[in-house]
């Protein structure tokens, strides 16, 4: 026990965060074990496939980190991401909107959902889970109505789909760079700007922040809006990797995004969030999904295992808080 304490006190480790180091070790260990168990797991195709998962899930996770930091929750992000991809994709393929405006439409749709959710939670005090449930269905409905319930396929790179170079150019995974840059920006927003300061503080003690003369409602709504924009980006990376989206789906990604976030050390009670942790958490989740498939299990096991992980991660958070009190 003393040794662990000593390690934790080490200034370098303190700076990086003990939990994040442990998490990173878990990630490496998982990778090694999977490489031993599955032939060719260490090969490029698997890594690229896992990275495709990392991109869109990563943006979702980053987004929901802001919301959870306020002490709220948003589990409409998966279906909203599909809604963004469908609305913008339909505009592109069927309404003749050029590529760049289409991508911007995706961001705007995400932003609108985020603002709606944020407005209802912050200004109306509607419980976040009700808002999430409603906006999840509204997103599905809007997507279905807009596309007349048809799936949308985004163009391949050769046919004007230049946006795919945001994901990869040749064999080079551009997406990972974009993701890490966006994560860095999120980290800066959360830790070095007014918005981040107030979002974290109000997640920890809303009333104290309000009594310091801060407009807490505005900042709380902003957290949901930031989440919305990131969901819009996630949509672009989803179609960049998987091309086709179908209306009516997207639920399972909610859980995976929340899993990445909570595993990374963001507390469900609000006030504590770590973008670095979320990034590592997302890698673990993506690797896990890839590993489950590689081990010959179906997608269904992914759902179950992710569900169990979230339960364990949240329970650990609950216990940590209980111990503190």
Partner 1 sequence: MGNRKIPAKLLKQEVIVFIVVIALLGFFCVASPDFRKYTTILTIMDYSYYIVLMAIGVSFPLITGGVDLSIGTGLVCYSLAGGYLIVHKGWPTGAAMVVSLLFGIIIGLINGILIGVMGLPPFLATLCTCMITRGLGSICSNNFGISWPTTGQPGSWFRSIFKLTIGDTKIPLGFVWVLLLAILMHFVLNHTKIGRYTIAIGSNKEAAILSGINVKFYHIMAYVISGFFAALASIAYSAVFATVLPGTGAGFELEAIGGAIIGGVSATGGAGSIIGTLIGVFVICLLKTGLPFIGLQANWQQIVTGVVLIGSVMVDIIKKRKESRK
Partner 2 sequence: MGEVILQMIDIDKRFPGVHALNKVSFDVKRGEVHALMGENGAGKSTLMKVLTGIYTKDSGSIVFEGKEVEFHGAREAQDAGVVIVHQELNMVGHLTVAQNIFIGREFKKGIRIDDKKMNEEAAKLFEKLNINIDPTATMSDLTVGKQQMCEIAKAISHDAKVIIFDEPTAALTESEIEDLFKIIRDLRKQQMAIVYISHRMDEIKVITDRVTVMRDGCYVGTLVTEESTKDDIINMMVGRIIYEEPKTKSRVSEDAPVVLKVEHLNAGRMVQDVSFELRKGEILGFSGLMGAGRTETARAIFGADPKESGEIFVNGKKTVINSPEDAVKAGIGYLSEDRKRFGIVVQKTIAENTTMADLGNYMKGIFIDKKKEKKVAKEFVDSLSTKTPSVDQLVVNLSGGNQQKVVIAKWLCKNCDILIFDEPTRGIDVGAKNEIYKLMNKLAAEGKSIIMISSEMTEILRMSDRIVVMCEGKKTGELRIEDTTQEKIMNLATRDIN
Task: Note whether 320 binds partner 1 by CB under 8 A.
Answer: no
CB of 317 to partner 2, least distance (A): 13
Q: How far apart are the first and last CA of the chain?
A: 21
Binding mask 105-144 for partner 1 (x = CB under 8 A): ---------------x---xxxxxxxxxxxxxxx-xxx-x
3-state secondary structure of 141: helix
Task: Note whether 215 binds partner 2 by CB under 8 A.
Answer: yes
DSSP 169: B
* d(C-alpha 239, C-alpha 166), whole Å: 11
CA angle centred on 232, ends 72 and 148, rounded to 5°: 110
Among 22, 37, 318, 320, binds partner 1 (CB under 8 A): 318
Decide: 227 and 111 in contact? Cβ < 8 Å.
no
Binding mask 148-187 for partner 1 (x = CB under 8 A): xx--------------------------------------
List binders of partner 1 among 226-265 (CB under 8 A): 247, 251-252, 254-255, 258
Task: Note whether 210 binds partner 2 by CB under 8 A.
Answer: yes
Residue from 277, 285, 315 nearest 24 by CA? 277
* Residue 325 Cα to chain centre, angstroms: 30
Decide: 23 and 279 in contact? Cβ < 8 Å.
no
Task: Note whether 295 binds partner 1 by CB under 8 A.
Answer: no
CA angle centred on 63, ends 14 and 266, rounded to 5°: 35
Task: Note whether 304 binds partner 1 by CB under 8 A.
Answer: yes
CB of 67 to partner 2, least distance (A): 18
* d(C-alpha 231, C-alpha 50), whole Å: 19
Q: Which stretch binds partner 1 (CB under 8 A): 212-220, 236-244, 277-285, 305-313?
A: 305-313
Name which of partner 1, partner 2, none residue 298 binds, using a CB cut-off of 5 to 8 Å depending on partner kind: partner 1
List binders of partner 1 among 37-66 (CB under 8 A): none
* d(C-alpha 168, C-alpha 291), whole Å: 22
Task: Note whether 207 binds partner 2 by CB under 8 A.
Answer: yes
* d(C-alpha 206, C-alpha 200), whole Å: 9
Binding mask 144-173 for partner 2 (x = CB under 8 A): ------------------------------
Task: Note whether 306 binds partner 1 by CB under 8 A.
Answer: yes
DSSP conformation letters of 270-282: SS---HHHHHHHH
3-state secondary structure of 245: strand
Site residues (vs partner 2, CB under 8 A): 188, 192-194, 197-198, 200-201, 204-205, 207-215, 271-272
Site residues (vs partner 1, CB under 8 A): 73, 75, 120, 124-138, 140-142, 144-145, 148-149, 247, 251-252, 254-255, 258, 268, 298-304, 306-308, 310-311, 314-315, 318, 322
């Amino acid at each position: 026990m003393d040794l662990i304490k000593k390690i934790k006190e080490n200034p370098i480790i303190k700076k990086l965060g003990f939990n994040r180091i442990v998490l990173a070790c878990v990630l490496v260990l998982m990778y090694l074990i999977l490489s031993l168990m599955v032939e060719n797991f260490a090969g490029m195709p698997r890594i690229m496939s896992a990275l495709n998962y990392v991109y869109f899930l990563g943006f979702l996770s980053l987004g929901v980190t802001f919301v959870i930091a306020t002490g709220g929750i948003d589990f409409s992000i998966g279906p909203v991401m599909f809604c963004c991809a469908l609305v913008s994709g339909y505009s592109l393929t069927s309404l003749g909107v050029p590529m760049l405006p289409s991508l911007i439409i995706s961001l705007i749709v995400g932003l609108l959902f985020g603002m709606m959710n944020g407005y209802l939670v912050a200004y109306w005090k509607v419980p976040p889970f009700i808002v999430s449930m409603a906006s999840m269905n509204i997103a599905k409905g809007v997507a279905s109505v807009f596309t007349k319930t048809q799936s949308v396929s985004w163009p391949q790179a050769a046919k004007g789909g230049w946006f795919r170079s945001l994901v990869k150019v040749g064999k080079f995974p551009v997406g990972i760079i974009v993701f890490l840059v966006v994560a860095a920006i999120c980290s800066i927003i959360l830790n070095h700007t007014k918005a981040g300061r107030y979002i974290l503080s109000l997640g920890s003690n809303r009333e104290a922040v309000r009594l310091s003369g801060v407009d807490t409602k505005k900042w709380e709504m902003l957290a949901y809006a930031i989440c919305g924009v990131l969901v819009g980006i996630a949509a672009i990376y989803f179609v960049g990797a998987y091309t086709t989206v179908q209306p009516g789906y997207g639920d399972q990604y909610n859980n995976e995004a929340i899993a990445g976030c909570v595993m990374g050390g963001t507390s469900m009670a609000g006030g504590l969030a770590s973008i670095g942790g979320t990034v590592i958490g997302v890698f673990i989740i993506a690797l896990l999904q890839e590993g489950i498939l590689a081990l010959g299990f179906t997608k269904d096991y992914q759902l179950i295992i992710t569900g169990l992980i979230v339960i364990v991660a949240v329970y650990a958070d609950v216990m940590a808080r209980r111990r503190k009190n």
